[in-house]
Amino acid sequence: MPKLGVNIDHIATLREARKIFEPDPIKGAEIAQKAGADSIVAHLRQDRRHIKESDMFKMREIITTRFNMEMSVNPEIVELTLKIKPDQATLVPENRQEITTEGGLDVISNFERIKKVVDDLKTNDIIVNLFIDPRADQIEASKQTGAEAIELHTGEYSNASSSNEEDRYLQEIKEAVGLGLSSGFIVHAGHGLNYKNVRRIAEIKGIEELNIGHSIISEAVFVGLREAVSEMKKLITL
Ligand code: PXP
């Protein structure tokens, strides 16, 4: 059974819509931990569009499970990561115009830079996870960096437009899990997983952890809305 990493970025996205103090992603991390999350994931982007560095430092204080920081290989972010000291760093590609992380890291084309960042993080006792597409050449290049873990991008599977396409992407992920394990990696998976499509990925043997954000935060709105409305109703009822 895979573990569950909960990405709390989109609590901060909602906060930034008003640029005030609520909803607080730290409170979200506490609730997710109490509900059984095996790790808390947050992405400190270069544009700080949701999570801020102050969130990351506070998160470090309260996370009792495992703190998995998503990050680019940008030097400023790497320097901050060494100060924040997450338990795990997940290296992701970052493009300023993107709505969310698009595609996995191209470890082959950016090998030297990625290897240097992996070395720096490992020297500081941070476990390194590379977010890559489920492809043999990227898995092989990842091995040469010295990273301990890979996270297979499930975006194509999640966005499949037919069941044939979904089956094909699922098969690719299964093969990549097998290759990742035989290369000695801890294998994770994530991106675009939701309450409908997660089961087939969770059934793949050998995946250590699934990292899920958007669909959990989306579902939380509706799971919590009834209580939120009735609490406000009580307050204004004189
Ligand atoms: N894993 C990685 C490496 C990601 O970049 C993201 C998105 O931040 C996720 C998992 C979670 O994706 P989603 O929000 O679509 O569940």
pLDDT score for 138: 98
pLDDT score for 95: 80
pLDDT score for 137: 98
Q: Is the dihedral of CA 195, 199, 200, 205 positive or negative?
A: positive
Mean pLDDT, residues 206-229:
97
DSSP-derived secondary structure letter, 210: E
Task: With beta carbons less than 8 A apart as the criterion, state whether 55 and 43 touch.
Answer: no
* Token digits of residue 78: 């790497």
CA 212 to ligand 1: nearest atom:
16
SS3 for 136? helix
CA-CA distance, 22 to 91, in Å (whole number)? Answer: 28
pLDDT score for 96: 72
pLDDT score for 143: 98
Q: pLDDT band for position 13 (50/70/90)?
A: very high
Ligand 1 pocket residue status of 72, Cβ below 6 Å: no
pLDDT score for 163: 97
Reply yes or no on whether the pLDDT at 185 is more than 80: yes
Express each pLDDT in 128-162 by its tens digit.
Answer: 999 999 999 999 999 999 999 999 999 999 999 99
- CA–centroid distance, residue 191 to ligand 1 (Å): 4
Ligand 1 pocket residue status of 92, Cβ below 6 Å: yes
Average pLDDT, the chain: 97
Q: Look at residues 124, 113, 38 and name the one whose alpha carbon lies nearest to residue 89.
A: 124
CA-CA distance, 78 to 156, in Å (whole number)? Answer: 28
**pTM of the predicted model, to two decimals?**
0.96
Catalytic residues, by residue number, are 43, 70, 191
Q: Is the dihedral of CA 204, 205, 206, 207 positive or negative?
A: positive
CA 43 to ligand 1: nearest atom:
8
- CA–centroid distance, residue 136 to ligand 1 (Å): 21
Out of 73, 94, 100, mutate this one to test ligand 1's pocket (max ligand atoms within 8 Å of CB): namely 100
pLDDT score for 97: 72
pLDDT score for 103: 87
CA-CA distance, 81 to 121, in Å (whole number)? Answer: 8
3-237 CATH, one of 3.40.50.1970, 3.40.50.720, 3.20.20.70, 3.90.550.10: 3.20.20.70
CA-CA distance, 70 to 42, in Å (whole number)? Answer: 6
CA 215 to ligand 1: nearest atom:
16
Quote the radius of gyration of the chain (alpha carbons, Å): 18
Give residue limits of the domains in the chain. 3-237
Ligand 1 pocket residue status of 194, Cβ below 6 Å: no
SS3 for 81? helix
pLDDT score for 102: 76
Reply yes or no on whether the pLDDT at 100 is more than 90: no
SS3 for 91? strand
How many CB atoms neighbour CB 168 within 10 A? 13
How many CB atoms neighbour CB 134 within 10 A? 26
Ligand 1 pocket residue status of 191, Cβ below 6 Å: yes
pLDDT score for 226: 96
Express each pLDDT in 56-69 by its tens digit.
Answer: 999 999 999 999 99
pLDDT score for 238: 77
Q: Look at residues 130, 124, 79, 77 and name the one whose alpha carbon lies nearest to residue 101.
A: 130
